[in-house]
Amino acid sequence: MKVLVVGHGAREHAIAKKLAEEDVELHAAMSRRNPGIARLSKRVEIMDLTRPESYDRFKGMDIAFIGPEAPLAAGVADRLNELGVPIVGPTRALARLEWSKAFTRSFLQEHGIEGNPEFSICRSLDDVRRFLGDHPEVAVKPDVLTGGKGVKITGEHLHSPAEVEAYAAERIRSDGLVVLEEKLVGREFTLQAFTDGDLVEVMPLVRDFKRAFDGDKGPNTGSMGSYSCPDHGLPDLPEAAVRKGEEIMRRTVRELSDAAGRFKGILYGGFMNTEKGVFLLEYNVRFGDPEAINVLALLETPLLEVGWEIVEGRLRRPAFQRLATVCVYLVPEGYPTSPKKGASLSIEPPRRSELYYASVHEEGGVIYTTSSRSVALLAKGETVGEAREKVYGDVPRIRGRLFYRRDIAAGV
């Protein structure tokens, strides 16, 4: 069975590692060589992942798993489908749920799906000023992929109406429009689900830590770590909020199937539980990072089996271990604002956790840092505390010009 994995981060290393437990022949498409994925693969192609025509070399693959959002937004799933390769991942039209905030808000509104905050799709400064007149506190969202760095919120990134207008005007000039939403206050949570365009099967819940430094201080990052609980829920998150998030996701998938075709892959919903109810912050059309590491470490059903059920439209509920997980990222000094690139790393195999390579460079058998996160460690345990003890016990085995948060899952 020839299986293609697209992407080069820790998320894709987790996908590849899970598939490698099965009787498959792995092929990898990466724009940068991930040493963990490369060591698991029979064939590695270093290429531009966002050029659909570049994938013609993978004709004859039995199935493909696409990790990052950019290839999906570029229509790579469409091209592989044309080549006869079944894809665990949506077509470009369905991937609009992630790459177009305007599409998602309009879709929910048009189909009567709950979860939208007050919003406006603004194509001029007059549109922006009208919305600010009613909603002085806003989230400003570009209508293109920005690598998780485009959304700016008043009070956090923007500190005056003039700053809001300036950023909104910049996005309008660049993209033709910008989405403004009322600023929501509450508890964020995420839901990841497998879906075949009909059934939506939610995975264990994961909480991640975006801020760079202990105590949730410093700039936002891709994530500094995450945890999940043995009961697959999260502390201080009401079951009713989870059920409402699941309902919003199921209705979205159902309406999409009628309007644009069956969504086959992974749907990730970011939600906010507020005093006024549960609101959708955003959709992603792939696994989260690091959330993929947590859930795939627990997945008992073979991932290849789940993948075939998705593409053939016969998804069943997958099984997950009833264990806790804790994931900790080690990142270059200065990350995320001025990371130290090109520093060599010394890595001893962890004793009680699993190692996942993220954004690193390998040359002559030596691993070097890049400008993004370097290595993730993941441990499982009967409790969050046990998993946390294991993972932090292995952190000293990764040496170099790195730092990490010491409070991931503390006190859980």
Whole-angstrom distance, CA of residue 196 vs CA of residue 315: 6
| pLDDT tens for the 412 residues of the chain, in order | 999 999 999 999 999 999 999 989 999 999 999 999 999 999 999 999 999 999 999 999 999 999 999 999 999 999 999 999 999 999 999 999 999 999 999 999 999 999 999 999 999 999 999 999 999 999 999 999 887 778 999 998 999 999 999 999 999 999 999 999 999 999 999 999 999 999 999 999 999 999 999 999 998 899 999 999 999 999 989 999 999 999 999 999 999 998 889 999 999 999 999 999 999 999 999 999 999 999 999 999 999 999 999 999 999 999 999 999 999 999 999 999 999 999 999 999 999 999 999 999 988 889 999 999 999 999 999 999 999 999 999 999 999 999 999 999 999 9
Looking at the DSSP bridge assignments, the partners of residue 29 are 6, 45
Domain ranges of the chain: 2-89, 118-182, 187-311, 324-403
CATH domain 2-89 topology? Rossmann fold (3.40.50)
Tell me if 329 sits within 8 A of 225, measured CB to CB.
yes
338 contact partners, CB below 8 Å, separation of at least 6: none
- Which residue in 322, 279, 372 sits closest to 11, CA to CA? 372
CA distances from 66 to 129, 296, 327, 389, 393 (A): 40, 15, 22, 33, 33
**Degrees (nearest 5) of the Cα angle 317, 318, 324?**
125
Residue located via tokens 């859980």? 412
Tell me if 90 sits within 8 A of 72, measured CB to CB.
yes
Tell me if 375 sits within 8 A of 347, measured CB to CB.
yes
Looking at the DSSP bridge assignments, the partners of residue 226 are 208, 327
pLDDT of residue 156: 87
Architecture of domain 324-403: Alpha-Beta Complex (3.90)
Residues listed for the chain: 412
The pTM (predicted TM-score) of the whole model is 0.96
Whole-angstrom distance, CA of residue 27 vs CA of residue 165: 47
Ordered DSSP codes for 48-110: -TT-GGGGGGGTT-SEEEE-SHHHHHHTHHHHHHHTT--EES--HHHHHHHH-HHHHHHHHHH
The class level of CATH for 187-311 reads alpha beta
Tell me if 359 sits within 8 A of 32, measured CB to CB.
yes
**Does domain 118-182 correspond to CATH entry 3.30.1490.20?**
yes
66 contact partners, CB below 8 Å, separation of at least 6: 6, 7, 72, 76, 77, 87, 88, 89, 265, 286
pLDDT of residue 97: 96
266 contact partners, CB below 8 Å, separation of at least 6: 88, 89, 192, 193, 194, 195, 285, 286, 287
